[in-house]
């Protein structure tokens, strides 16, 4: 054997094992502090445990990209973090794998079978629960002089005469319609009953009052990291947003912000498995770990979103202060959860069915409203 | 008769010349062939495929072929008969078995809102149907919407193999079932507003670019080379920077607590409480787009001005023209070619812009391209998106045609 062939075979031997473990799973999520919490909470631990590389990809929601991948036959995504509405639409369109829930997902550490351990039934057969999060609003305590009289209700957000300044709101209808109706006096628990009955127009009128008031005005955010940025930069005096992002800005970045929980919208977030993804089998295994009791509890170590499993809360409570970051040290996380009793005195529970069914009308009305503002 | 001229190898000269010419042409074609193939396969064909989507509804038609055929004899004046409802039942059953009922629901929902839930609920209950009983009654039992004739009318419309309705939507019109064309309710009108706004922004930005670029280009063309090179780099440097970087830089500069406002406040021009609103409105869109598109105006103008001999202006003044008069009568007309080339470039680029206005323009920065992107990415109504894109493409072609008529495309000089 010549020296060269020896070298080549040696190289081949060295390369072979690393190639065998080169399995990858591509997980798509919302970026920023949230993806970071998922990566630290269960992505990295799973990678270490299984040797499967977990890649995190950012997106800003919606099904268009995966739909385009499926249509062109070049699917690169395995797991997607989606709104409930999109699990329903995508499942109906056959984009995602349908689960056999109790067989596909492990029981909780408390011994409860998966379907009982998750807080709520899944909105579609393709969804597996991930977190409960909240849409609420926050303000900058430094930038604006409220004379010690800080906003504490949803009415205050919609009252530019009392608290003048620009508001930053989500760029889609979701959350804005609910907030507007609550501010207009609709009981939080009945918001969606009103929607059927001229509620969209009523909500849009309320938003028009806010956005066209010379003392108010609206700007729109589309990525979760934007609201805290806009509050800190002074571009907006109040901003709706996701509680975990506000929490991150307050705790980790020391931003002088405060959240208002009145009229918050509790919403669920889900994982789906792409049908025909590049690594469907590995992805399924990864997903099982991500959504296990420890997995979901893991992400709550890094962000103030409540895990979807009851047993994950047990894991957290047994070990408070659970949250940890370099900047803030250890923090008790339960009081900051969107589900904490103090935060749920007056809340709306998101109705994804309503959005999935009426998607077109809601969006047409919303986009026309926005363009004619 | 003239003697036949032959080459050294005995061939007729005319034949030999033709051969050489042919070989040359082949070589030239082969050199251009990769580009040609690339353009055809990566550009022309996909564009036509996409445009075809705006009228193509063949997929829906194939899902519900028989229903569509049976419905041809139904005039839509009263509830459909059992022939329609039974055919629809069997085809929907096949759809549920093969899991494409979701697609049917989504597509029909573009025709009439509420179809998503209607089809989904019906699909779930389909197995309880009694195939010997009246189908219409059973449909209505599942969901009362089936008792509303408009849903059946939408079903007939929605299964046409092709249609032009998306083009009506592009201009906020809709076609009723009886064929009449009407404007959609005022609260839902959006596209006409956006078309006008897009044209306004494109024309405005082109004008701003012209006003700013003209003096710069003139300066560039008359300065000694070492200074003009430096100035040219200043013009081109932003051109080499990524669009997103430039847009984000504008956001840093223009925002309320941004560099520009801070400077104005510290210099005392503006009070701290009344900082200027330079972003999330039309102002921001104009400022950012003008800066980004400026090089496209400067370069054609510069290349034209460079060729204008300074002696022409001197000759005019020596014959008694005031500088202004000489500029108006001599210099300015000579730059027409550059102005028109720059204007058409900037206008065509501006009319399709969407990232910059979306980032710095706020709600006022929504242009027609944002709507196209919205329908591609959010609502997933690709046929509407492609219909709008087709109209935009036609608009650009019309501008090009007008330009050719008025100025003549041969007169365009890009440098």
Nearest-CB residue to B187 (from A64, A91, A368): A368
Interchain CB contact of A14 with B (< 8 Å): no
Q: Does one domain contain both B62 and B121?
A: yes
Residue B80 domain boundaries: 58-161
Tell me which H or E stretch contains A81. strand A79-83
Tens digit of pLDDT for each residue in A24-68? Answer: 999 999 988 899 999 999 999 999 999 899 999 998 888 888 988
| Res A19: pLDDT | 45
B404 and B316, same structural domain? Answer: yes
Measured CA to CA, the distance from residue B130 to residue B108 in angstroms comes to 25
Evaluate if residue B415 carries a pLDDT over 60.
Answer: no
Question: Where residue A332 falls among pLDDT bands split at 50, 70, 90?
Answer: confident
B274 in reach of chain A (CB within 8 A): no
What's the rounded Cα separation, in Å, for the pair B109 and A83?
A: 20
DSSP A227-262: HHHHHHHTS-SEEEEEHHHHHHHHHTS---EEEEEE
Residue B76 lies in a domain: yes
CB of A123 closer than 8 Å to CB of A84: yes
Q: Which domain holds residue A362?
A: 135-267+341-371
Instruction: Enumerate the β-bridge partners of residue A54.
Output: A25
Q: Are residues A178 and A219 in the same domain?
A: yes
- By DSSP bridging, strand A128-140 and strand A238-242 are antiparallel
- Same-domain check for residues B360 and B377: yes
Claim to verify: residue B106 and residue B79 sit in the same structural domain: yes
Residue A13 maps to a domain: no
Per-chain mean pLDDT for chain B = 86
Q: Is the pLDDT of residue A11 over 60?
A: no
- Is the domain of B293 the same as that of B203? yes
Length of chain A: 373
Whether residue A160 sits in one domain with residue A253: yes
- Asked if residue B289 lies in contact with residue B209, where contact means CB atoms within 8 angstroms, the answer is no
* Residue B396: CB atoms within 10 Å: 15
Cβ–Cβ under 8 Å, residues A41 and A304: no
Min mean pLDDT across A61-65, B4-8, B47-51 is at B4-8
What percentage of chain B exceeds 70 in pLDDT? 98
Query: What tens digit of pLDDT does each residue of B297-350 get?
Result: 999 999 999 888 888 888 988 988 888 898 888 899 889 888 988 999 999 999
CATH, residue A115: 3.40.190.10
Omega prior to A353 cis, within 30 of 0: no
Query: Which positions 115-174 of B are in contact with A (Cβ < 8 Å)?
Result: 116-117, 120
| CA of residue A313 relative to chain centroid, distance | 18
Residues in contact with B126: Cβ distance below 8 Å, sequence separation at least 6, in sequence order: B89, B92, B93, B96
For chain B, give the percent of residues with pLDDT over 90: 20
Instruction: Record the pTM.
Output: 0.79
Alpha-carbon distance B161 to B29, whole Å? 41
Residue A373: closest CA among B399, B362, B25: B362
Same domain assignment for residues B264 and B387: yes
Q: Which pLDDT score is estimated for A271?
A: 95
For the CA atoms of A89, A58, B372, B346, the dihedral, rounded to the nearest 10 degrees, stands at 180
Q: Are residues A218 and A192 in the same domain?
A: yes
**Judgement on whether residues A246 and A301 belong to the same structural domain of the protein:** no
Q: Is the Cβ–Cβ distance between A333 and A300 less than 8 Å?
A: yes
Closest by alpha carbon to A169, among A237, A251, A93, A75?
A: A237
Candidates A357, A363, A373: best to mutate against B (most CBs of B within 10 A) is A357
Residue A3 lies in a domain: no
Per-residue pLDDT, B391: 92
Q: What is the mean pLDDT of residues A230-255?
A: 91
CA distance between the termini of chain A: 79
Q: What is the per-residue pLDDT for A42?
A: 93
Q: Among A118-127, A276-285, A324-333, where is mean pLDDT lowest?
A: A324-333
Q: Which of residues 59-118 of B touch A (CB under 8 A)?
A: 99-103, 105-106, 109-110, 113-114, 116-117
Confidence of residue B382 (pLDDT cuts 50, 70, 90): confident
Q: Same structural domain for residues A31 and A108?
A: yes
Question: Using one digit for the tens of pLDDT, what is the confidence trace for B72-121?
Answer: 888 878 888 888 888 899 888 888 888 788 888 888 888 887 788 788 88
Mean pLDDT of A270-286: 92
Cβ distance of B113 and A360 shorter than 8 Å: yes
B372 and B245: one domain?
A: yes
Smallest Cα distance from B196 to chain A, Å: 12
Q: Given an 8 Å threshold on Cβ–Cβ distance, is B106 in contact with A372?
A: no
Does the pLDDT of residue A13 top 60, yes or no? no
Nearest CA in chain A to B371: A367
Answer for the pair B67, B91: CB distance below 8 angstroms, yes or no. Answer: yes
Do A151 and A121 fall within a single domain? no
The reply to whether residue A92 touches residue B120, judged by beta carbons under 8 angstroms, is: yes
* Cα dist from A31 to A39, A47, B185, B252, whole Å: 10, 19, 39, 22
Q: Is residue B172 part of a domain?
A: no
Query: Which residues contact residue A152 at a Cβ distance below 8 angstroms, ignoring those fewer than 6 apart?
Result: A260, A262
pLDDT at A1: 47
Residues B72 and B220 reside in one and the same domain: no
| ipTM metric | 0.74
Whether the CB of A60 is below 8 Å from some CB of chain B: the reply is no
Helices (H), chain A: 3-20, 32-38, 44-50, 64-72, 84-92, 101-104, 114-117, 154-157, 176-183, 191-194, 200-212, 226-233, 243-251, 280-290, 293-300, 310-317, 352-371
Spacing of C-alpha A101 from chain mean position: 22
Report the chain B residue with the minimal C-alpha distance to residue A89.
B102
**Average pLDDT of the residues in A121-136:** 91
pLDDT at res. A18: 45
Compute the nearest-CA separation of A152 from chain B (Å). Answer: 24
Q: Is residue A14 part of a domain?
A: no
């Amino acid at each position: 054997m010549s020296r060269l062939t020896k070298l080549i075979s040696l190289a081949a031997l060295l390369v072979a094992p690393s190639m065998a473990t080169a399995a990858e799973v591509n997980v798509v999520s919302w970026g920023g502090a949230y993806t970071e919490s998922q990566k630290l909470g269960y992505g990295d631990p799973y990678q270490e445990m299984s040797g499967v590389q977990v890649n995190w990809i950012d997106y800003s929601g919606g099904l268009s990209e995966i739909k385009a991948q499926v249509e062109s036959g070049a699917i690169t995504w395995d797991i997607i973090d989606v709104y409930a509405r999109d699990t329903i639409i995508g499942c109906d369109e056959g984009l995602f794998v349908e689960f056999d829930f109790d067989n596909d997902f492990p029981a909780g550490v408390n011994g409860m079978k998966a379907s009982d351990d998750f807080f709520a039934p899944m909105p579609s057969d393709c969804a597996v629960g991930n977190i409960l999060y909240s849409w609420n609003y926050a303000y900058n305590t430094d930038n604006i002089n409220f004379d010690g009289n800080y906003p504490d209700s949803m009415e205050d957000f919609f009252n530019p005469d009392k608290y003048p300044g620009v508001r930053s709101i989500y760029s889609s209808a979701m959350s804005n319609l609910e907030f507007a109706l609550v501010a207009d006096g609709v009981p939080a628990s009945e918001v969606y009953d009103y929607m059927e009955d001229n509620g969209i127009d009523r909500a849009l009128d309320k938003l028009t009052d806010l956005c066209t008031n010379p003392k108010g005005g609206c700007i729109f955010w589309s990525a979760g990291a934007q609201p805290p940025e806009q509050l800190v930069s002074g571009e907006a005096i109040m901003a709706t947003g996701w509680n975990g992002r506000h929490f991150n800005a307050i705790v980790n970045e020391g931003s002088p912000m405060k959240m208002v929980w009145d009229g918050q919208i509790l919403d669920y977030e889900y994982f789906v498995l792409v049908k025909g993804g590049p690594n469907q089998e590995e992805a399924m295994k990864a997903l099982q770990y991500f959504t296990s009791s420890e997995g979901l509890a893991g992400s709550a170590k890094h962000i103030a979103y409540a895990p979807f499993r009851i047993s994950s809360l047990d894991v957290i409570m047994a070990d408070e202060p659970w949250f940890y970051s370099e900047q803030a040290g250890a923090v008790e996380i339960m009081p900051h959860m969107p589900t904490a009793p103090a935060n749920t005195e007056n809340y709306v529970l998101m109705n994804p069915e309503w959005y999935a069914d009426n998607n077109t009308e809601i969006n047409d009305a919303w986009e026309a409203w926005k363009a004619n503002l | 008769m003239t003697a036949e001229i032959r080459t050294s190898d005995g061939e007729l000269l005319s034949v030999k010349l033709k051969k050489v010419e042919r070989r040359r042409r082949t070589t030239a074609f082969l050199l251009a062939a990769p580009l040609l193939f690339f353009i055809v396969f990566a550009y022309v064909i996909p564009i036509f495929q996409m445009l075809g989507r705006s009228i193509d509804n063949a997929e829906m038609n194939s899902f519900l072929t028989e229903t569509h055929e049976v419905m041809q004899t139904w005039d839509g004046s009263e509830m459909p008969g059992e022939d329609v409802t039974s055919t629809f039942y069997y085809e929907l059953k096949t759809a549920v078995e093969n899991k494409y009922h979701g697609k049917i629901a989504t597509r029909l929902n573009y025709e009439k809102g509420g179809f998503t839930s209607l089809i989904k609920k019906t699909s779930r209950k389909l197995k309880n149907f009694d195939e010997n009983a009246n189908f219409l009654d059973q449909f209505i039992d599942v969901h009362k919407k089936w008792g509303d004739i408009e849903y059946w009318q939408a079903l007939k419309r929605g299964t046409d193999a092709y249609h032009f309705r998306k083009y009506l939507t592009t201009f906020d019109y809709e076609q009723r079932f009886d064929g009449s064309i009407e404007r959609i309710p005022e609260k839902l009108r959006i596209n006409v507003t956006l078309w006008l706004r897009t044209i306004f922004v494109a024309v405005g930005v082109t004008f701003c670019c012209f006003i700013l670029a003209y003096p710069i280009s003139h300066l560039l063309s008359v300065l000694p080379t070492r200074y003009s090179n430096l100035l040219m780099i200043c013009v081109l440097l932003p051109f080499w920077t990524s669009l997103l970087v430039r847009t984000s830089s504008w956001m840093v500069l223009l925002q309320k607590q941004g560099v520009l406002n801070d400077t104005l406040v510290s210099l005392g021009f503006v009070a701290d409480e009344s900082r200027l609103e330079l972003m999330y409105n039309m102002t921001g869109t104009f400022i950012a787009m003008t800066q980004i598109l400026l090089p496209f105006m400067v370069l054609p103008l510069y290349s034209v001005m460079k060729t204008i001999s300074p002696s022409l202006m001197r000759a005019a003044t020596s014959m008694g023209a005031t500088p202004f008069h000489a500029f108006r009568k001599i210099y300015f007309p000579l730059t027409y070619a550059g102005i028109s080339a720059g204007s058409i470039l900037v206008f065509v680029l501006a009319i399709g812009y969407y990232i910059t206005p979306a980032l710095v323009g706020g709600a006022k920065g929504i242009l027609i391209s944002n709507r196209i992107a919205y329908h591609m990415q959010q609502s997933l109504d690709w046929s509407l998106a492609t219909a709008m894109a087709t109209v935009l493409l036609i608009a650009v072609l019309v501008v090009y045609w007008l330009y050719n008529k008025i100025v003549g495309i041969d007169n365009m000089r890009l440098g």
